[in-house]
């Protein structure tokens, strides 16, 4: 089975391997936080739609404002999926690096 560090040529030194692992962990941390923030923003945006639903106090203003919150929620869903995909890919990369150590 090929290792993720098999680059074909001289094998990387221990310092290079350590730097690669630290960079991968940092990337995973950054995208994990971005995924969390996108999820929180999506939840808040979805919660902002509720007062504009039928039977609530702001339903009379649903056409201009409620629709904007729905579009915002749809856009934030796309952002969440993209950030989550990158975070998942980063996590898989970190996991493969850790496995290649053994």
Residue 8 binned pLDDT confidence (cut-offs 50, 70, 90):
low
This prediction's pTM: 0.80
pLDDT in tens, 78-97: 999 999 999 999 999 999 99
For residues 72 and 89, what is the distance between their CA atoms, to the nearest angstrom? 26
Helix/strand/coil percentages in the chain, nearest 5 = 80, 0, 20
Rounded to whole angstroms, how far apart are CA atoms 76 and 82? 10
């Amino acid at each position: 089975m090929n290792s993720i560090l098999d680059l074909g040529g001289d094998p990387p030194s221990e310092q290079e391997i350590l730097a690669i692992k630290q960079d991968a962990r940092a990337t995973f941390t950054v995208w994990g936080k971005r995924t969390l923030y996108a999820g929180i923003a999506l939840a808040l945006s979805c919660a902002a739609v509720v007062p504009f639903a039928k039977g609530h106090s702001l339903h009379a203003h649903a056409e201009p404002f409620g629709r904007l919150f729905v579009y915002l929620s749809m856009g934030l869903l796309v952002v969440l999926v993209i950030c989550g995909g990158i975070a998942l890919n980063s996590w898989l990369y970190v996991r493969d690096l850790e496995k290649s150590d053994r």
